[in-house]
Amino acid sequence: MTRVVIVGAGQAGSSAALKLRALGFSGDIILIGDEPIAPYQRPPLSKAYLLGKTTAEALLIRPVSLYRDQSIDLRPGCRVDRILPHARRIETSTGSLDYDHLVLATGARPLQLDASIGGALGNVFLLRSLEDVDRIRPAFVAGRRLLVVGGGYVGLEVAAVAAQAGLQVTLVEMADRILKRVACAETAAYFRALHARQGVRILEGTAVQRLEGSGPITWAHLSDREDLATDLVVVGIGVKPDISLASGTGLDIDNGIKVDQFGRTSVEGIWGVGDCASFPHYGERIRLESVPHAIEQAETVAANICGAQKVYVAKPWFWSDQFHVKLQIAGLNTRYDRVVVRQDSRPDVASHWYFGGERLLAVDAMNDARSYMVAKRMIEAGISPDPEAVRDPTTDLGSLLKSLAVVAVPNY
């Protein structure tokens, strides 16, 4: 009987396993993860779960019983240490296993502050896993002084939740502005103003030079020469793809495990999906860190294991929740040369449209589901609207979409 072994029981790993069964795959499916629980959703970790508004149980992607019902052999708390590709065998913390297909869904690991500058002090936290948040929550007490390091989406979400929970929050970002790697200056300005109104202090162009404390952190020394009395630190300075298993096997690596348009790695019988893998995308090689991508790429690989020969074409979208604002992002904003701001008359409702030349590439929509939906459809269909029509808040976007219903090549 054909056996598929999946390493990494996260969003991508569980999606691959469930899709294999949905497609009628009747062989063995073994889903191995080194975390102690069944696959769960990470996005609420820096949102509702950190705020204490949802339970660990509610984070599970599917109930544990479903894996049993689908004859998926889920093995939490098990680590895969080595791959022997010639023998098509893996070695795990609980013994070795043979495979016909091996799917690597090992995700990403958070970057840490170096121990030499105090990164290993008590009350200095990373935020990637449920265990991480369970460690943070007891320290998340109203009135305490929190330093968030990193002004990307995770850092900003933590800052928002902390401010809502009554902590005194300072966020430092080493680059000259928040969201530098992922969004335009206009989106950064929107979120900077939102946080300032809610009492979060944001220091841009400011790095942590040293954290100090005997045991837990007490002071943070910043590059702007400020010394900040601090009770806890959450570090959100990005992630790196988890390639430890793959690189030890000799798989090609290029900003993650290198896979082709079908999800195949450079080694026969081994596939790569989700945060850990980079893939070809309209002439470039990219890596995405998002739930929709993890699901869709994993489902494509499941189909290909079943013999479909399906090409994976990413349709990037993402979201972030901060205070009362839902940000929805569609498309990829690399290589833009202009941003068109569509400002609604309602407070905090706006959308930022990224153009490269005449082409619509991406949108950031804040509390503006209509702009998001219309822009997403345009991007996926390869339609580029007149920027001035988009900018005009009286333009009906639905009618604009209909009038431009010309199908061209996608815009990514």
Ligand X SMILES: Cc1cc2nc3c(=O)[nH]c(=O)nc-3n(C[C@H](O)[C@H](O)[C@H](O)COP(=O)(O)OP(=O)(O)OC[C@H]3O[C@@H](n4cnc5c(N)ncnc54)[C@H](O)[C@@H]3O)c2cc1C
Return d(Cα 136, Cα 70) in angstroms, integer.
Answer: 35
What is the token pair recorded at 161?
């939740």
Minimum Å gap between C-beta 392 and ligand X is 31
Q: Residue 182 in contact with residue 152, Cβ under 8 Å?
A: yes
Burial of 309 (0-12, 13-18, 19+ CB in 10 A): exposed
At 307, the amino acid letter reads: G
Choice between 125 and 355, CB closer to ligand X: 125
Q: Provide the sign of the torsion angle of the four alpha carbons 373, 375, 378, 381, taken in this order.
A: negative
3-state SS of the chain: helix, strand, coil percent to 5?
25, 30, 45
Give the residue, chosen from 4, 6, 10, 305, that forms a contact with ligand X under the rule CB under 6 A: 10
Please identify, among the stretches 56-64, 106-114, 305-313, 372-380, the one whose residues bind ligand X according to the rule CB under 6 A: 106-114
Q: State yes or no: residue 151 binds ligand X (CB under 6 A).
A: no
Per-residue binding letters, 228-257, with ligand X (x by CB under 6 A): --------------x--x------------
Interaction between residue 127 and ligand X (CB under 6 A): yes
Give residue 167's identity as a one-letter amino acid code: L
User: 320, 328, 351, 367: which one contacts ligand X (CB under 6 A)?
Assistant: 320
Choosing from 32, 97, 149, 329, the residue that interacts with ligand X (CB under 6 A) is: 32
Quick one: which of 130, 232, 251, 294 contacts ligand X (CB under 6 A)? 294
Q: Does 275 bind ligand X (CB under 6 A)?
A: yes
| CB within 8 Å of 232: residues ≥ 6 apart | 123, 124, 125, 136, 139, 140, 144, 145, 146, 147, 216, 217
Token digits of residue 222: 């910043």
Question: Which of residues 4, 6, 12, 102 is near ligand X by CB under 6 A?
Answer: 12
**13 interacts with ligand X by CB under 6 A:** yes
Q: For ligand X, which residue has the nearest CB?
A: 10
Beta carbon nearer to ligand X, 245 or 270 = 245
Question: With CB under 6 A, what is the number of residues at the site for ligand X?
Answer: 37
Q: What's the min distance (Å) between Cβ of 49 and ligand X?
A: 9
Q: Transcribe 51-109 into DSSP letters.
A: TT-S-HHHHBSS-HHHHHHTTEEEETT--EEEEETTTTEEEETTEEEE-SEEEE---EE
Q: Taking the complex as a whole, how short is the minimal distance between the CB of residue 127 and ligand X, in angstroms?
A: 5
* Least spacing, CB of residue 322 vs ligand X, in Å: 10
| Residues forming the site for ligand X (CB under 6 A) | 7-13, 32-35, 42-43, 45-46, 79-80, 105-108, 127-128, 154, 242, 245, 274-276, 289-292, 294, 318-320
